[in-house]
Amino acid sequence: MKKTYKIDVDCANCANKMEQAAQKTEGVKTATVNFMTLKMVVEFLEGHDPKAVMQAVRKNCKRVESDCEVYLS
């Protein structure tokens, strides 16, 4: 399953870091961050609850880039 989330981040390098952080999160199959449209597309592994996974994604992103935001709704 694939879902798109709005994000907020200031620099392109930070967006790259968020992408890596999201990719490393458990339950995430692939993640792409598009800095230009400020969107994150996440594909989840089967058997994982997207909501719980996204909480973790958000946390991991915050860890690498304190100034970012992932809007979960």
Positions in the binding site for other proteins (CB under 8 A) = 10-13, 16-17, 19, 32, 34-39, 41, 63-64, 66-67
Which backbone phi and psi does 11 adopt, to 5 degrees? -130, 155
Selection from 21, 18, 27, 33 nearest residue 51 by Cα: 27
How far is 15 from 50, CA to CA, in rounded Å?
21
Minimum CB distance to other proteins, residue 70 (Å): 16
Minimum CB distance to other proteins, residue 37 (Å): 6
Minimum CB distance to other proteins, residue 29 (Å): 15
Residue closer to other proteins, measured from CB, 56 or 64: 64
